[in-house]
Amino acid sequence: MLRIGVVGYGTGGQHFHTPFIAAAEGCALSGIVARAEATVAKAKADWPGTPIYPSLTEMIAAGVCDAVTVTTPPQTRRALVLEAIAAGLHVIADKPFAPNAEGALELDRAAKSRGVTLGVYQNRRFDADLQTLAKVIRDGRLGKIWRIESRMDQDSPQTVEQGPGGGLLRDLGSHVVDQMVYLLGPVSVVDAQMDFADMPGGRTDVSFTITMRHESGAHSHLSASKLNHIDARELRAYGDKGAYWSLTTDIQAQDIFAGKRPMDDLSAWGYEPEANWGMLYAEGGTERVPSAQGRYHDYYEAFTKAVRDGTPPPVTAEQGARTLAVLDAARKSADEGRSISL
CA dist 341 and 190 (Å) reads 6
Q: How confident is the model over 277-318, as pLDDT tens digits?
A: 999 999 999 999 999 999 999 999 999 999 999 999 999 999
> Buried b vs exposed e over 69-79: b needs ≥16 C-beta within 10 Å?
bbbbebeebbe
Segment 96-136, tens digit of pLDDT? 878 888 899 999 999 999 999 999 999 999 999 999 999 99
* Domain 125-294: which CATH number of 3.30.360.10, 3.40.1350.10, 3.90.110.10, 3.40.50.300: 3.30.360.10
Mean pLDDT for 65-69 is 98
Select from 94, 86, 97, 90 the least CA-distant residue to 116: 90
What's the mean pLDDT when you consider all of the chain?
95
Find out whether the peptide bond into 96 is cis, omega within 30 degrees of 0. yes
Domain 2-121+300-312, what fold? Rossmann fold (3.40.50)
For the chain, the domains span 2-121+300-312, 125-294
When pLDDT is averaged across residues 44-57 and rounded to a whole number, the result is: 97
Are the beta carbons of 266 and 241 closer than 8 angstroms?
no
Amino acid at 186: P
Cα dihedral 59, 60, 63, 64 sign: positive
Please report, for residues 34, 323, 341, the alpha-carbon distance to residue 191 in angstroms, rounded to integers and kept in the order given.
40, 14, 9
Q: For residues 325-339, give the mean pLDDT.
A: 97
What pTM does this model have?
Answer: 0.94
Instruction: Work out the percent of the chain whose per-residue pLDDT is above 90.
Output: 92
Beta bridge partners of 153: 225, 232
> Is residue 75's pLDDT more than 90?
no
